[in-house]
Amino acid sequence: MRRTEHGETVSVVAHGEHVADVVPSGELDRLRETIDVLSDTDLVRELAEGLSDARAGRVFSSDDIAADLASRCEAGE
């Protein structure tokens, strides 16, 4: 357990067979979050589209976004 407290994953072997891994709790949380994201096909598609847009230079500056949000608030959206 001390090793996992320091971020290490520890294998558990019983009768000469690898039966489990003990992982730090933070790592388990990250794995669960990854599974949740990858299980959402719409989200994965949107992330891929967003990366494609960014690579192609189709991006907005933070000033552009702030101005758009301000105008939407003024319009009551």
Q: Could you tell me if residue 3 is inside a domain?
A: no
pLDDT (tens digit, 9 = 90+) per residue, 30-68?
999 999 999 999 999 999 999 999 999 999 999 999 999
Q: Could you tell me if residue 66 is inside a domain?
A: yes
Predicted local confidence at residue 63, as pLDDT: 95
Q: Could you tell me if residue 76 is inside a domain?
A: yes
Q: Could you tell me if residue 73 is inside a domain?
A: yes
Band (pLDDT 50/70/90 cuts) for residue 77 is: confident
Q: Could you tell me if residue 7 is inside a domain?
A: no
**Residue 38 belongs to what domain range?**
25-77
pLDDT at 70 over 90: yes
CA-wise closest residue to 3 among 26, 22, 31, 19: 22
Q: Could you tell me if residue 61 is inside a domain?
A: yes
Q: Count structural domains, the chain.
A: 1
Predicted local confidence at residue 37, as pLDDT: 93
13 φ, ψ (degrees, to nearest 5): -120, 130
pLDDT (tens digit, 9 = 90+) per residue, 3-16?
998 999 999 999 99
